[in-house]
Amino acid sequence: MPDKPPIKNLSYIEIEEASFYINWAGFRKDSSFFIPCVQCEELRKQILEKATIACVPISCRYVVENKVKGIRVWRVL
């Protein structure tokens, strides 16, 4: 009997040997968070996928904040 695929944990984003916890249920309209990264496209895909599954409408952009490259994510509705 084949093994079941692992259930994805929507609250954790793992990128570049780091893990980030995102509280989608507590992510309120007009709030935002920043995650530093080098591989930003991979991170962006993970965030968009998990936000879609969690039914959380977001907007995200590549940014440089305080000389640190990363992604800023806003809750839009």
Instruction: Give the model's pLDDT for residue 3.
Output: 58
Q: pTM of this prediction?
A: 0.80
**Ranges of each domain in the chain:** 30-77
Beta strands in the chain (DSSP E): 12-15, 18-21, 32-36, 58-65, 68-75
Structure-token match 């935002």, residue found: 32
Residue-wise pLDDT for 9-26, tens only, equals 778 888 878 888 999 989
Residue-wise pLDDT for 54-72, tens only, equals 999 999 999 999 999 999 9
Measured CA to CA, the distance from residue 69 to residue 66 in angstroms comes to 9
